[in-house]
């Protein structure tokens, strides 16, 4: 036991084990279930709304510009959203993205020694067709 740690009293005999014994826990707190329920409700609301927006924008913009392009319905608009998600990786939310990767690579680059940087540059030049001067 760490000598700086505050000793905790032993639980009372007959007291319930686990979180019910924890005085800091709020009663009625739903934890992760409430968060997932909120996300599910948000998805059920936003996905059809995005489908309608894509459908309206497509039908408003594309047929006048390209005369051979037909108008699309709701389900094709949702399919177009899924296709864009697969191809371009949108709807990321808080996870990842190019900014985080760029920050990670910058921190990694700054942590390298000059020799490691030179080796990294030489390896990256193998993928280029022309040598930079």
What are the tens digits of pLDDT across the range 99-127?
778 888 889 999 999 999 898 888 888 77
The total number of structural domains in the chain stands at 1
User: Is 17 among the domain residues?
Assistant: no
Q: Can you tell me the distance from the alpha carbon of 63 to that of 69, in angstroms, rounded to the nearest whole number? A: 5
Is 5 within a domain?
Answer: no
- Tell whether 68 is covered by a domain: yes
| C-alpha distances in Å from residue 51, one per residue of 38, 39, 62, 124 | 20, 18, 16, 41
Q: Is residue 107 part of a domain?
A: yes
pTM: 0.45
Q: Give the domain range for residue 85.
A: 31-91+103-125
Q: Is residue 73 part of a domain?
A: yes
Asked whether the beta carbons of 69 and 63 are under 8 A apart, the reply is yes
In a domain, 130, yes or no: no
């Amino acid at each position: 036991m760490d000598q700086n740690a505050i000793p905790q009293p032993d639980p009372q005999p007959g007291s319930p084990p686990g979180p019910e014994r924890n005085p800091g826990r709020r009663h009625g707190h739903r934890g992760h279930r409430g968060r997932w329920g909120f996300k599910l409700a948000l998805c059920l609301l936003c996905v059809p709304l995005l489908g309608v927006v894509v459908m309206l924008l497509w039908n408003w913009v594309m047929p006048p510009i390209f005369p051979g392009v037909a108008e699309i319905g709701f389900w094709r608009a949702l399919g177009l959203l899924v296709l864009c998600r697969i191809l371009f990786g949108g709807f990321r939310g808080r996870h990842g993205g190019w900014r985080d990767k760029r920050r990670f690579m910058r921190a990694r680059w700054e942590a390298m020694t000059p020799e490691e940087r030179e080796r990294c540059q030489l390896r990256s030049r193998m993928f280029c067709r022309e040598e930079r001067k």
